Amino acid sequence: MQIRPFSELTSPDERTLRFGGFGLLLDGKLTPEAATEFQQRAVADAELSETVPKMVRDSYERLRELHSYGVLFYDAFTLTSDLRWVTLEMALRERFIDYYSGSIPIVNRVGHTETFDTSSFYELGKAFRKRGTHARGWKLARDGAKYPISMPLTLAPLLRWARGEALLAGQRNRYLEEQVFPDLRNHFAHGTAFSIGMPNRSAQVICDLAEIINRLWGQTTPGGRLYPGPVERDVLVIGWSHPSDEQYSDHALEVMHAGHLKGTTDNGDDWRYIVVRAVWGDPELSGFDADFEMTTLPSNLIWGPGTREDCLAWLNEADPVGDLVDRLDRLFAIRFYADKVFLPRRPEVLAGLEEAARSGRWVLLRADSPFDAFHHARHLNEGTECGDDARCPVEEVASGSWSQVVEAAKRASPGLSTAAVQGIRVPRRHPFPMTVGAE
């Protein structure tokens, strides 16, 4: 080991100074003071909820401190990425004990049930691991589950348990929990290779970890990457000139907040307007369809189509307001008919379909995006696997006839309302088939 003086150990690492707000700096570098502030601000907003136990918050805070010292010790960024698995597993263990208030329901092979009382996950592990007092024949009993499960003692089983108890959400997150996180944790634990991380990766790891831990204790993260809070929908107006072709054209198109319609000029009698609740900035709003899910985030029609004057009159009378909606684990119904795959529909539209549109086979899918659901439905129709290394981030809820899938949708969404098919959509600039399959 090379013995270095204190002054060298406390000197800034030149590599860290090359990272700024716009990424890697090739032609310059930050001052040590600026780099120190920048790295701390990168993780400053990733706070844990006060509902998270103190020992978990303290372990997490140690990671944020370690990240900050990357200005002096570049390898701290790699250590932060590696040690997050220790903190995540600690959080899951604490949440497991907390979830059952220290009285864990267990069942043996002959169906006898009792509780294992402990406030220590360490004692739980001793009892249920090899040669422990409950190692043979005892499993975790879960309310509403058909079968008990083995006591979850490590990261992957604990993540599956948390998902089963709805402590975690999101279909893309489920893929991370089942495939990515356990593999990365094993790479860290078993030392498969030497690696060097970067500051931006370390900061992202910390922010993601905060989202996961907060979600375990029932908190979402406004604007978060993994577990965002409800997304705010505004009242928006979409207007377009009448196309010469019903399917697609180079027609003019405007998307604006409802309050801005008054300030626009009258585009003419050939323009039509609709009012929707949607997320401002959704890149797919130009393809809005009232009957099929064609936008990235949830959206729905509340008026139209009509002229500008009619639209203004309705807005003045109705005075509609925005709302908040969840963007994860949405339900989509997809029809297979005549060897074609139809676009996803909301369950409300599914329930309101007329008799002629109900034939064929249907599937009810849970996904974070209609495009994920449609992609998976195409795989089902083609009889192909979702992928060599990863499956589609979709959960298959039900399949069968229209009535069977409607019943499944009602079970998944109690109080499901019915929405009539409206046949209203924004004319598309490019051809987009309503179905995919054989001609």
Hey, which residues does 332 pair with through a beta bridge?
365
Cβ neighbours for 294, distance < 8 A, ≥ 6 positions apart: 284, 287, 288, 343, 370, 425
Helix (H, G, I), strand (E, B) or coil at 26: coil
User: How confident is the model at residue 438, as a pLDDT?
Assistant: 45
pLDDT beyond 60 at 274: yes
The tokens describing 191, both together, are 């030392």
Helix (H, G, I), strand (E, B) or coil at 191: coil
Between 39-53, 209-223, 241-255, the lowest mean confidence (pLDDT) is in: 241-255
d(CA 323, CA 297): 13
What's the rounded mean pLDDT across residues 33-51? 96
**Pairing relationship of beta strands 103-107 and 139-140 according to DSSP bridges:** antiparallel
User: How confident is the model at residue 242, as a pLDDT?
Assistant: 76
User: How confident is the model at residue 108, as a pLDDT?
Assistant: 93
DSSP H or E run through 37: helix 32-44
pLDDT beyond 50 at 276: yes
Q: Give 233-274 as a DSSP string.
A: EEEEEEEEEPPSSSSB----EEEEEGGGGGGSPP--TTEEEE
- What's the mean pLDDT when you consider all of the chain? 91
pLDDT beyond 80 at 250: no
Place of tokens 């027609």: 251
Contact 154, 375 (CB under 8 A): no
pLDDT beyond 50 at 199: yes
Q: Which of 396, 393, 433 is nearest to 170 (CA)?
A: 393
Residue 265 pLDDT class (50, 70, 90 cuts): confident
% of the chain residues with pLDDT over 90 = 77
What's the rounded mean pLDDT across residues 309-324? 95
Length of the chain equals: 439
Place of tokens 């801005």: 260
User: How confident is the model at residue 435, as a pLDDT?
Assistant: 57
Residue scoring higher pLDDT (246 or 239): 239
Helices 199-216 and 32-44: angle between axes, nearest 10 degrees: 20
d(CA 358, CA 346): 14
User: How confident is the model at residue 193, as a pLDDT?
Assistant: 78
Backbone angle region of 73, left / alpha / beta, with phi > 0 → left and psi within -120 to 50 → alpha: beta
d(CA 381, CA 218): 37
Between 119-133, 238-252, 382-396, 403-417, the lowest mean confidence (pLDDT) is in: 238-252
d(CA 198, CA 337): 50
What's the rounded mean pLDDT across residues 254-281? 89
Q: Which of 75, 120, 61, 129 is nearest to 94 (CA)?
A: 120
Contact 214, 229 (CB under 8 A): no
% of the chain residues with pLDDT over 70 = 95
Cβ neighbours for 205, distance < 8 A, ≥ 6 positions apart: 80, 81, 84
* Ramachandran angles phi, psi of 143, nearest 5°: -60, 130
pLDDT beyond 80 at 251: no
Q: How open is the CA angle 164-169-173, to the nearest 5 degrees?
A: 105
d(CA 429, CA 439): 23
Predicted confidence (pLDDT) per residue in 66-79, tens digit:
999 999 999 999 99
User: How confident is the model at residue 189, as a pLDDT?
Assistant: 86
pLDDT beyond 50 at 19: yes
The tokens describing 420, both together, are 């009539």
Start-to-end C-alpha separation, the chain: 71
**Highest-confidence range of 82-96, 135-149, 384-398, by mean pLDDT?**
82-96
Predicted confidence (pLDDT) per residue in 118-177, tens digit:
999 999 999 999 999 999 999 999 887 788 999 999 999 999 999 999 999 999 999 999
What's the rounded mean pLDDT across residues 38-60? 97
User: How confident is the model at residue 439, as a pLDDT?
Assistant: 40
| Neighbour-count burial for 86-110, b at 16+ CB within 10 Å, e otherwise | bbbbbbbbbbbbbeeeeebebbeee
pLDDT beyond 60 at 203: yes
The tokens describing 165, both together, are 């108890």
List Cα–Cα distances, 198 to 24, 74, 80, 107, 180, in angstroms: 10, 8, 10, 47, 19
